[in-house]
Structure 1
Amino acid sequence: MNTFLSPLSQERERECLEKLKQNDKEAREELILHNMRLVAHVTKKYASGEEEMEELISIGTIGLIKAVSSFKADYGNRFATYAIRCIENEILMHFRSKKKSRADVSLFEPIGTDKEGNQIHLVDIIENEDPDVIEDISMENDLYILKHNMKKLLTKREYYILVRRYGLDGMEEMTQRQIAGTLRISRSYVSRIEKRALEKLKKILE
């Protein structure tokens, strides 16, 4: 496996991003080389073997290059957050083009397999049992996006069901049957509303 350069300090990263505005090729190359570990980190979630790992690193690198080329400081995100999103998007587009995941993927449907052959779901990317710094950045960004868009995208009923179903905003988790009881509707109807709400949220995470 390749050994990648250590990440840049925040100060040096800011300097490179400033130089990049002037089309500085050396700054561009430095940002790419010192962020290759982001590519490797994201790729590990999708690769099922050494051969596929190499292929996905190449594809993920394209996403990183796109991130370096298109990042703007006024996006409100750290560069690493933005780069992870671009890398994941590039890899997911690759899987979709090979029909390894469907275009209508939801948070709880499989989008690939890990190196042990276990299915990977989109929710697994957002919620990791052993997060490191990169995971924290990605999760923090996803949760920020969801939190600031849920009320805008969802109906009051959809919002209520997701909040109670997954214990958001400090609420206690409830089963679909329990929620159905509070709303005086059927459990299957709650399930349909929940699925529809998750599909709405999936679109903004893509």
Structure 2
Amino acid sequence: MITFLEFVLQNLLFIGLHLDCRSSFPKQLSKAEERECIEKIAAGDAEARNVLIEHNLRLVAYIVNKNYPESIRGSQQDADDLISIGTIGLIRAAETFDYSKGSHFSTYASRCIDNAITHQRKHIREFQ
């Protein structure tokens, strides 16, 4: 958990820059590059984890736009909050993905992103 929080804090500026420049996401990794990153992550390579996360930030924005359009129309802060929460889901996906199970990273990451957002929204509603 500490490593996860350290990563988020270290890359807060990075995430913020991507939120401000949504149209300038890095290109998507090829299947070979993605698999190489995942293998390096399994071996403990933090840089490979950062690369995988960076190149999948577009997926977070896509899921927020597709699944939560009411928040996008609401306010920019709501959209930014959902993208931030979704990014945490993406980070978890990068840390827990198992290529040997036969699914694609984007499929697994989509579920993690959506689950993180759903969980947070449910948690917020409980306190309102």
* TM-score bucket of the superposed structures, by smaller chain: 0.7 to 0.9
Paired with 2:27 and 2:117, the residues of 1 have a C-alpha distance of 23
Q: Does 1:70 align with 2:96?
A: yes
- For 1:33, give the aligned amino acid: E
2:48 corresponding residue in structure 1: 27
Aligned with residue 117 of structure 2, among 71, 85, 91 = 91
2:13 corresponding residue in structure 1: none
Paired with 1:21 and 1:94, the residues of 2 have a C-alpha distance of 28
Q: Does 1:54 align with 2:80?
A: yes
In the comparison of the two structures, how many residue pairs are matched? 100
Paired with 2:85 and 2:93, the residues of 1 have a C-alpha distance of 13
Q: Shift of the alpha carbon at 1:75?
A: 2.1
2:25 corresponding residue in structure 1: 4
Paired with 2:113 and 2:119, the residues of 1 have a C-alpha distance of 10
User: Quick check: which has more Rg, 1 or 2?
Assistant: 1
Deviations 1:78-110 (A, max 9, x none): 00000000000000001101228xxxxxxxxxx
1:197 corresponding residue in structure 2: none
- For 1:93, give the aligned amino acid: H
Give matches, 1:119-138, under 5 Å: none
1:79 corresponding residue in structure 2: 105
TM norm structure 1:
0.46
**Unpaired stretches in structure 1, ≥5 consecutive residues:** 101-206
Paired with 2:80 and 2:47, the residues of 1 have a C-alpha distance of 25
Deviations 1:115-153 (A, max 9, x none): xxxxxxxxxxxxxxxxxxxxxxxxxxxxxxxxxxxxxxx
- For 1:53, give the aligned amino acid: A
Q: Shift of the alpha carbon at 1:76?
A: 2.0
RMSD: 1.4
SS in 1 for 2:125: coil
Task: Could you list the structure 1 runs, at least 4 aligned residues long, displaced by more than 4 angstroms after superposition.
Answer: none
SS in 1 for 2:50: helix
- For 1:39, give the aligned amino acid: V
